[in-house]
Amino acid sequence: MNFWRNLEKPIIGLSPMDGVSDASFRFVTAKYGRPDVITTEFISVDGIAYGATNIFNDFIYHEIERPIVAQLFGIEPEYFYQGAQIVCELGFDGVDINMGCPAKTVARRGAGAGLIQNPTLAKEIIRATKRGVQDWFNDGLSKSINKKTLRELSAVKEKLDILGTKFDLEKRIIPVSVKTRIGYDRESVESWIPELLEESPANITVHGRTLKQMYQGEADWLALTKVGQIIAKHNENLDDEMTISYIANGDINSADVAIEKLQQSKADGLYIGRATYGNPWIFENIRQKLKSDEYIPVEKTLDERIKVALEHCDMHFRLNEPQGFVQMRKHLAWYLKGFPGAVKLRVDLMKSNSPDEVRQILSQHQISY
Ligand SMILES: Cc1cc2nc3c(=O)[nH]c(=O)nc-3n(C[C@H](O)[C@H](O)[C@H](O)COP(=O)(O)O)c2cc1C
């Protein structure tokens, strides 16, 4: 089942962000922002193939995140084949291939945005991922998956069960999508995007920067508009069920900018990344603004932000062992951003190690919760 096709357009989704959009962040974003689609942080297919414990924790998700897509990265088609099968087995709604990560540790190996320079391998990876999904649907998990990976898979299933996530769904063929950039060291959408279209991924998401730009400068919305035209042309003569949807991405930080960029690019939707830091409400604001031009986006009060921050803390503490709380501190700072009176509170919260400590610090600052 291709959920991309059934989503109401425009699609406003949560962009994957390694080190940020973990299960607790996605839970809070789903609950208070209700994005139309959510993607996990990228997950290494090598780690999956070798059964690395820390990797498998990235597969934790909550039922309210649906439709939820697991994003994979790597370079070895056989590992994508196996990774796709694990994603199916865990009840995700889609599997996405990362062809956009610019980090040296990833791209220098030829993975992530490195694949933009190797379209032959990129296409082989899409085919292997689709084959993994199809073979899992026909025959179940492949015998090539090693025992350690199967043990980790069972452990994740137990955790999903505790969370009440319904991973054990009726078998279905989930869509394979790609997220990429506009080029490697220069914009090259006219050659790169048609290569991807040859393999008919269900959806293509494009971040409007090259690998070389990393996250510098502004996203190139002219290039993203060109991508929209290339994909629209490709779809022109196709039956509905063969068309490919397109999500544009880069620097969307308000409802007004979202509307402007949707109109400009003619994309089927947008992915929002950094503007969601401490701000799950951005999705609701964009949705309301799409419904009515008159709508003025709502700014949340400090009290409202603290309530959500605490819920985020509790979920984070529950899902990660206590030693993982350091990861939560940056989120606390983001929730309190823009409140000049909260500078000292922010500094104190940067030392917190648990939700209890966060509550104590709030009390010390005479903040009720
Ligand atoms: C901290 C961080 C981690 C990211 N991790 C991923 C990732 O795992 N997979 C991916 O496809 N993109 C990743 N990205 C890129 C974002 O998904 C998005 O394409 C980019 O930030 C531009 O969108 P924005 O301007 O709305 O943030 C990451 C970006 C940031 C800032």
Return d(Cα 260, Cα 256) in angstroms, integer.
6
Q: Nearest C-alpha to atom 4 of ligand 1 is from which residue?
A: 17
pLDDT digits (tens, 9 = 90+) for 123-134: 999 999 999 999
Return d(Cα 294, Cα 305) in angstroms, integer.
25
CB 175 within 8 A of CB 213: no
Return d(Cα 21, Cα 17) in angstroms, integer.
5
For a ligand 1 pocket test, name from 39, 207, 252, 253 the mutation site with the most ligand atoms within 8 angstroms of its C-beta: 207
Q: CATH assignment of 3-291, given 3.90.226.10, 3.20.20.70, 3.40.50.280, 3.90.1170.50?
A: 3.20.20.70
Low-confidence winner among 50-59, 185-194, 201-210 (lowest mean pLDDT): 50-59
For a ligand 1 pocket test, name from 12, 14, 18, 43 the mutation site with the most ligand atoms within 8 angstroms of its C-beta: 18
- pLDDT for 278: 97
Residues placed in the known binding site: 71, 179, 207, 273-274
Return d(Cα 305, Cα 329) in angstroms, integer.
15
Return d(Cα 148, Cα 51) in angstroms, integer.
5
Residue 16, both tokens: 């994957």
Compute the mean pLDDT over every residue in the chain, rounded to the nearest whole number. 96
How do 203-210 and 269-272 pair as beta strands? Answer: unpaired
Helix (H) or strand (E) holding 37: strand 37-44
Find how far residue 269's CA is from the centre of its chain.
14
Q: How far is CA 347 from CA 255, 279, 325, 365, in A?
A: 30, 19, 16, 12
Residue 252, both tokens: 């969307």
As a whole number, mean pLDDT of residues 274-290 equals 97
pTM of the model: 0.97
**Three-class SS of 187-242:** ECHHHHHHHHHCCCCCEEEEEEEECCCCCCCCCCHHHHHHHHHHHHHHHHCCCHHH
pLDDT digits (tens, 9 = 90+) for 318-367: 998 767 899 999 999 999 998 888 899 999 999 999 999 999 999 999 99
Neighbours of 138 (CB within 10 A): 9
Return d(Cα 62, Cα 60) in angstroms, integer.
7
- pLDDT for 322: 67
Q: Nearest C-alpha to atom 14 of ligand 1 is from which residue?
A: 17
pLDDT digits (tens, 9 = 90+) for 148-157: 999 999 999 9
Instruction: Ligand 1: list residues with CB < 6 Å.
Output: 15-20, 41-42, 71, 98, 100-101, 179, 207, 249-252, 272-275
Q: Is the pLDDT of residue 100 over 90?
A: yes
User: Looking at the annotation, which residues are catalytic?
Assistant: 101
- pLDDT for 364: 95
Residue 279, both tokens: 């701000």
Q: Is the pLDDT of residue 1 over 90?
A: no
Q: How far is CA 237 from CA 30, 227, 306, 322, in A?
A: 36, 17, 51, 54
Return d(Cα 46, Cα 249) in angstroms, integer.
27
Low-confidence winner among 26-30, 148-152, 241-245, 320-324 (lowest mean pLDDT): 320-324
The closest alpha carbon to 335, from 364, 367, 366, belongs to 367
Q: Nearest C-alpha to atom 19 of ligand 1 is from which residue?
A: 207
